[in-house]
Structure 1
Amino acid sequence: MSEALSLPKALHEKVLNTIVDKFSLTEELSADGEAFLPLFSQLPMHQGSVGYMRKFTGNPLFQVVTSSIVVPALQLDSHMVFAFTPSDSAVPHFTVDSVCAGEHHAFHLDLIPRMDLGSQLTYMNEVFLPLTESWERGSSIEGLSRAHLSPRQLGIMSPWMLANRATESAFEEITAVVDDYLEHWFSLLEKGVSAEALNGVTSEELIARDARNKFAIFNADVDPVWQRIAPLVGEEAASKQIETLRAISG
């Protein structure tokens, strides 16, 4: 498996570079000038570096956090981008994961709701409804199968989430859908959420919900992937990743 040429790595780099370049974000490095959090294997079958968490900041975002873990011995090639809007914003967070495990590809694409969709119809119509055509196109790609997500995981994301296992050809096709989601997210950042869609929800309420939502998303009890990451990179590094992803802006 070649990290530099892998499909997950290519999609990851395309999305990350597009976001960083569009907003001229600044990368926050470690004290020794390396990535924000270098990751090292704790497994005897593979020694040394297995990847890193990177962190970027700059307006109009709160932070962009990535996590890349590549372990040839485990046939694992995994890359995540999570672009967080400020905690007092109603504009969704953007995320895309891209993975190759052995011969199997998988991805997760979503805009994370900042308000309760079940009680805020105008917000849902304004912010998420425009994604429907792209969601339907992405859902109909031949070669996709459902990812194994629990009802709790589904409940804390959006109904427009795409989370699938994919053949190589299907994974290549999803790039256009990722572009659609990213462009829609950019348009929301530019125009913001209308007062009608906010429906009286305050900045304080948005901040409090953001903290609760991140606690649920980045939670080893809810998402079992963290139970696999901790033995691989160590409890301290795994906890640091979760702490970074759960951060809120004041």
Structure 2
Amino acid sequence: MSLPFELCDRTLNRIVARHGDLVEVETPLAKLVSPMSPEPVGSMRVFRGTSVAKLVYVGLVVPMIHLDSHMIFAFTGPESAVPHFTLDSVYGGSYHAFHLDLIPRADLATHLSYVDAAYHPLTPVFEAASAQEGLTAAAVGPRQRAVMSPWMLVNRATEEAFAGIGEHVDAYADHWSSLVEGGFDADVTATLADTDLPGRDAAVRANIFSRDVDPVWSQVSRLLGDATTDALRAELIANE
């Protein structure tokens, strides 16, 4: 069991256990195949629930190209202001890397009380992780950062440092789960009356999983083909 798989799988199981109505459903993308290998090179798992509307796992493991990549996205419902949770954990042959974030459901610059409730409690964790020895900033451009949050952690890591990030992942996941369970106070919710939550979410997710915004999809296409890659993207873009 690789470190990236172990981190992602443990986090997924914690979310499923805590939000007990999540049920795994069948998907035609359960086995991902590639011309590069006679055996499947990855898998997708999809869970559906109520407070957590959808949880998606995508794993790609191809030893011949030194790829060991695992990703989860946990999506709240269209009408919810609770951010989405995401974790990527990767081994690329000469380095480990991870991406951890809560994806905003409202504009942060104009909704300070939302920032204080949804994100500010993560600041000590963000600062501790940012200062952790063995972590270096990953190359993510400002355009891609613009669709995420300022509390995003996206780093390359030594093997030792990667093995130690579990507590940061748990802290983000636990805070997110608390928001899912408790929601926001009425005064915070009132400040979001100017936000079309479903419409904004649809637009943001289309951007996050856009081939134009995130170059990783071109790499996935080379491995899986355009049709399968677009089917993965479609599963991530919508809760339906």
Of 44, 48, 55 in structure 1, the residue corresponding to residue 46 of structure 2 is: 55
Of 65, 79, 85 in structure 2, the residue corresponding to residue 88 of structure 1 is: 79
What is the deviation of 1:165?
A: 0.3
Superposed structure 1 runs of 4+ greater than 4 Å apart:
none
Q: Is 2:126 the counterpart of 1:129?
A: no
Q: Does the residue aligned with 1:49 lie in a helix, a strand or coil?
A: strand
Aligned partners of 1:65 and 1:82 also within 8 Å: yes
- Tell me what 1:23 maps to: 19
How far does the alpha carbon of each residue in 1:203-230 deviate from its partner, in whole angstroms, 9 at most, with x for none? 9700000001001100111000000001
Q: Does the residue aligned with 1:37 lie in a helix, a strand or coil?
A: coil
- Tell me what 1:38 maps to: 31
- Tell me what 1:102 maps to: 93
Q: Which moved more, 1:195-204 or 1:148-157?
A: 195-204
Which structure 2 residue ranges, 5 or more long, are not aligned? none
What is the deviation of 1:248?
A: 3.9
| Root-mean-square deviation over aligned CA pairs | 1.5
Aligned partners of 1:89 and 1:203 also within 8 Å: no
How far does the alpha carbon of each residue in 1:74-102 deviate from its partner, in whole angstroms, 9 at most, with x for none? 01100001000001100000010000010
State the distance in 1 between where 2:226 and 2:87 align: 24
State the distance in 2 between where 1:66 and 1:122 align: 31
- Tell me what 1:9 maps to: 5
- Tell me what 2:164 maps to: 173
Pairs aligned (count):
239
Which structure 1 residue ranges, 5 or more long, are not aligned? none
Q: Is 2:136 the counterpart of 1:145?
A: yes
TM-score normalised by length of structure 1 = 0.92
Of 188, 197, 212 in structure 2, the residue corresponding to residue 221 of structure 1 is: 212
State the distance in 1 between where 2:100 and 2:136 align: 14
Q: Does the residue aligned with 1:79 lie in a helix, a strand or coil?
A: strand
What is the deviation of 1:72?
A: 0.6
Q: Is 2:204 the counterpart of 1:207?
A: no
TM-score normalised by length of structure 2 = 0.96
